[in-house]
Structure 1
Amino acid sequence: MVELLNKSRDAQERAPKSSKLLLVDDEENILRSLQRVLRREPWELTTASSGEDALAAMAAEKFDLVISDARMPGIDGPTLLAEIRRKYPWCIRILLTGHADITSTVKAINDGQIYRYISKPWDDDELRLIIRQALAFQYSERRRLALEKLVRKQNKELKQLNESLQDKVSERTAELKQIADMLDLAYKELRRGYVTATEVFSSLISKRLPVDLRPNTKVITLVKAFAEFIDLGEEQHQNLAMAAALYNLGKLSWQDDLFKAPSDLLDKNQRLEYLNYPVAGEQLLMALEPLKETALIIRHHQEKWNGYGTPDRLGGAHIPLESRILKLAVDFVEFQLGLILERKVSRDNAIELLKRYRERLYDPELTDRFIAMLLELAPDVEHADPSILVLDTLRLKPGMILARNHYAASGMLLLNEGKELTAFLIEKLAAFEKGKPGGHRYTLYVHKSEQDMENLA
């Protein structure tokens, strides 16, 4: 009884203060019994003695909930509720049925998609509780839809604000805090609304960077592939993907020159601001309950295996696993974009740098597995641009156009972006490749064309 009372109070708190109920039964005494049971509730009650009368009442005014008897002459209960579902899908439907009305109950469930069925004779307290819970569910769904509409509106406004973001950094940071608060409310109602939020934030970050210096998409692709490669748990996989989308969130208040400067060339003040961005990103996300694990991954993704990282100087296995993975992916991508060293490095050189620092900056075992994935699954694993093909020298064809600069292992530029490949150049590349240690092949990025696709088919 105590549990029933607690459930009743909880449902009453979450339900709207007033609702309109339609009670349908061909027996007057049943209708009077229902009215007696519900007379003290804050609901407006309307009765109908047949399915035809019920449909006429539904056409005349809007009802929140319908309770119908199963067996009635003319239009029976299951048929009535199925018709109400078709015409008025927002209306909650409950069936009153006898113990022997199994066929009617099954039909109501299948065709009318009823919320509940209640057996006769009913328990008065249980009947009131079921109605309260149904109305609370309906109210919650209506709020969910309203919040979903609000989120779409806010997302549209955020995209429009991107164009002037450079001149309004302080204002945008405050707005992001407001959006974070709004998304916290949205999650309680929508549960999975935070997925949309990560896409919005990732889009905001990318808009601050030149097209050729946007790492997020590549980092996301890499961590997802690696999570599958090492069979990471589903929840860890999801949190890691979210962190990859949002790891740059703490940089939104930076000036443009800091965004483009390699981290190894920053002055003292810039260095302090750079070292703080993982914490700033965590603080923006901590208010969101479903993103707390993601925020923690972001906080620690610049820790180093030797314990000399930031912000907490964690070392070894004390660094969260997902943070160790994210650092590998971030550094591998940012090496190639020129966001760490003074110059961009090739994919192959980026792999060599991961090997070189595998016991200082990175988890040695994870580094070996990460590199194994890169070599086993080919460079396509970190590449998400559908207009570019990623090929080794054996798959190159004369006439292809380079989409990125190509460097030798020493860092010397071999071929510049936009260069058209000839049979002679391909032969030279193959010759250079033979002199590389380890037997690794060059990786080249070329623009797609119809002829390319035919040659590769």
Structure 2
Amino acid sequence: MTATPTSPAEAAAFTILCVDDEPNILSALRRLFRPQGYAVRVANGGVEGLAVLDAEQVDLIISDMRMPGMDGAAFLAEARKRQPDAVRLLLTGYADMGSTIDAINGGQIARYISKPWNDQDVLLTVREALERRALQNEKNRLEALTKAQNEELRSLNASLEQKVEARTAELRNAHEKLKQNFLTSIRVFSNLIELREGGTVCGHSRRVADVARKLAVKLGLKPNDVQDVMLAGLLHDVGKIGLPDELLAKPLSHMSGDELGIWRKHPTAGQNALMGLENLRQAAVYIRGHHERWDGQGYPDGLSGLTIPYGARIIAVANDFDGLQAGLFSPRRLKPEEAITFIQQNRGKRYCPQVVDAFLEVMGASDQVSPAGHEIGTSALRPGMVLARDLVGKDGVMLLAADFVLDESLIRQLRELEASEGTRLSIAVRPAQGA
């Protein structure tokens, strides 16, 4: 059988070590392999063969069995220790069969070649042995590559999960910060609206928003709806910005018919002012309807009963409760208990019965609860403390919104404000975060 020729490029990649104590055998093997393109190394004994293995990497070893000093079995066993991946072949005669078995066991040779050999058989044996080694090497390489890639993939997945978690936390914090900035801006705007009314109702919108929020929670509204109700409470008087100064200074009971006609346009004006802001469109609907009455005698649309938006019914109760105490409807300011009685007496007339019932429960509970936090002076402020409620200056301007976290810079500014105005600020705070 004729061996299939090995291409020079393939053969050049392999190095063969031939070990024999007979020079003519080495010469024969060299002449056999070199034309095939193999790199051939020769050694005239086991010791010299081991020196070659220590010096360079070989792919295949052919060793004679009978050699002085170190025979083929001993040499191949030692060669296996030094280069275990090299293919090992043994040249042996029939008389050496017992020693050959020892070599197979000790050196784990791939095959033995009987003397005298057939050149084509030897070439075919060598080529097949090297091909198997190449396939095994490729298999090992691919397994190592797969293992490395799997490890890298696991690492990337772990890293990706951490990055996703970190990014999610960043986005959550950014969203929360945007939300807080948005609410703070609304509170500031609400404060500016009250300044337009001359400061006679300082804190009215914030109080309305607070009561309305409590009612919305009590009535089981969803968080987004609760926020819309609170925003509507803060901005329910935005339509008054365009009213004449003299009208803003009058209680409703002192207005003429024409003045009432102008006054009753402010809910519609308030809705129109906010309709361009997507986040405030639902609040704008509540603002338009917060002067409607359950019996249909309200304005601007004369809605009645369940046709009035739920949030508007809530704002109506919260607004009138504070307005009665602030003197917005008559010169005489009602006491809190009198305002509660007025709301209760108008259940099912001016106000939604369900909202009034929730209002009475909230008022009954809140009368027994002290405001969150405690009041301290600026000298006792520490970084990390949280405002328990809005901080308002002596002129009615909101300086900082509730839930604002104080830092050293803000504390210093508050102390400087006290010194410049000659006043003492009393600030309601909760403990520092994490305390």
TM-score by length of 1: 0.44
TM-score by length of 2: 0.46
